[in-house]
Amino acid sequence: MKSSTKHNGKRSIRHEVIAMVKSLPDNCSIEDIQYHLYVREKVLNGIKAIKRGDFISQEEMERESARWLKSSGQDRRVKTSTR
């Protein structure tokens, strides 16, 4: 059985997950652990997408959102307080 903690110069996912679980409070729930794993995976997927150039700018997202809202009949702008 191989006991190496590294894979291609990186810590193994198993060791990363163990470290993450150890960093959580003792009274955390299974749902807390699942949530942290879910968020970790989403962040890592986002980082990979950025490295691939697979993203759009904030301005483009705002234009697409405005088009979607207009086409769905929800073209009302929400006013926010400037306090």
| pLDDT at site 73 | 85
pTM: 0.59
Residue by residue, pLDDT tens for the chain (83 residues) are 444 455 566 789 999 999 999 999 999 999 999 999 999 999 999 999 999 999 999 999 999 999 999 998 876 665 555 55
Letter for the amino acid at 4? S
Bridge-partner residues for 10, per DSSP?
7
Closest by CA to 36, choosing from 56, 21, 15, is: 21
Closest by CA to 34, choosing from 15, 20, 13, is: 20
All residues at 6 or more sequence positions from 56 whose CB lies less than 8 Å from its CB, including other chains: 64
